[in-house]
Amino acid sequence: MKQVYFAQCGDRIKIGVANNVTARLAQLRTGAGGPLALIAAVDGGREVEKALHKKLARHHIDGEWFRDCEEVRKAIQNSLSNFGASKSVNGKPRGNAKFSAVARLLWPHKTAETLAMIAGADARSGHRWLSGEHEPPAIVVAAILHEITRRDA
């Protein structure tokens, strides 16, 4: 099944479609010009992708890349609300990616390393949490949300 994915590289967000999101992101990482992170993936095909591209045309940069801004973030959240986070990536079951989606929307420019540091965990755990591969323990979520609201308030 095709999935529409949202990937972030610096201040840009790519909205694309792929049968194999993991393989597609691996291809993109080679020429991305910086770290590339999956924000979310939803079940859907070209029609969903094209509708998003059309809706966000004013934020278009190049190809399938868009400025990271409030309207683009809202479109991602709407996609998650309307289609739900994909239950699998490339046929492999995913964890419940709620934390990943919320963390990337609330605090989009922080890295997995920063979130792991706040939680007192290793960077690998931070990457797993932000990718949606694993959900962090509740105490970690509380520590991160406390830091987000403290700094951004």
Choosing among 1.10.260.40, 3.30.300.30, 3.40.50.720, 1.10.620.20, the CATH entry for 95-153 is: 1.10.260.40
* pLDDT, tens digit, 9 for 90 and up, residues 10-41: 899 999 999 988 888 888 887 777 788 888 88
pTM: 0.60
Q: What residue type is assigned to position 146 of the chain?
A: H
CA dist 75 and 143 (Å) reads 27
- In angstroms, the Cα distances linking 21 to 16, 27, 107, 108 are 9, 10, 23, 20
* pLDDT, tens digit, 9 for 90 and up, residues 108-141: 666 777 777 877 777 777 777 777 766 777 777 7
Radius of gyration of the chain (CA): 15
Q: Which of 109, 103, 99, 83 is nearest to 5 (CA)?
A: 83
How distant is the alpha carbon of residue 1 from its chain centre?
A: 19
